[in-house]
Copies of this chain bind each other. A is one copy, B any other.
Amino acid sequence: MAFEEEKKFFESYIREKNLKWSEQRMQILEIFLRNKKHLTADELYRMVKEKFPSVGYSTIYRTLKLLCDCGICSELRLDDGTIRFEHLYRHKHHDHLICLKCGRMVEVVDPEIEKLQERLAKKEGFILERHILLMYGLCPKCQSK
């Protein structure tokens, strides 16, 4: 099947933490990765439920937490209060362009912006650890509608 590398990575993380392998965890990881989009916990739950009707809501949350802990994914808290989970494994840091109409999300990076942020932080004496930049607007398709 697909995503062998990510699965291996997750399995070693689990082992390292003295946790146990489970069919559910692997299924959730696979279905999560199979989706390009940024999913909510509930969306992921529904997708997993299709292939694995007995799965519980808590298992989704628990697994997402593990996936975040080990760096495979991360939470993205949007302006409207929804939380979406994005792929992080072998995805470098990026910011987001988000369409206010259709919700499409584009991942972008601008090294200059990153540098300027560091400069700005230094000016105030802060040592930066991370940042979140969410840019909201209209995507090309939604502009013409």
Contact = CB atoms under 8 A, between A and B. Distances in A.
B113 A116 contact: yes
A117 B135 CA distance: 8
A136 B129 contact: yes
A125 to B, nearest CB: 4
Interface in A87-145: 95, 97, 99-100, 106, 108, 110, 112-113, 116-117, 119-121, 123-140, 143
A95 to B, nearest CB: 8
Given A106-B126, A140-B126, A134 B135 contact: no
A81 interface: yes
A106 B124 contact: yes
A82 to B, nearest CB: 10
Greatest chain B CB density within 10 A among A95, A110, A131 is at A131
Given A110-B117, A113-B113, A126-B139, 8 more contacts: A79-B132, A106-B124, A110-B120, A124-B140, A126-B135, A128-B135, A131-B133, A132-B136
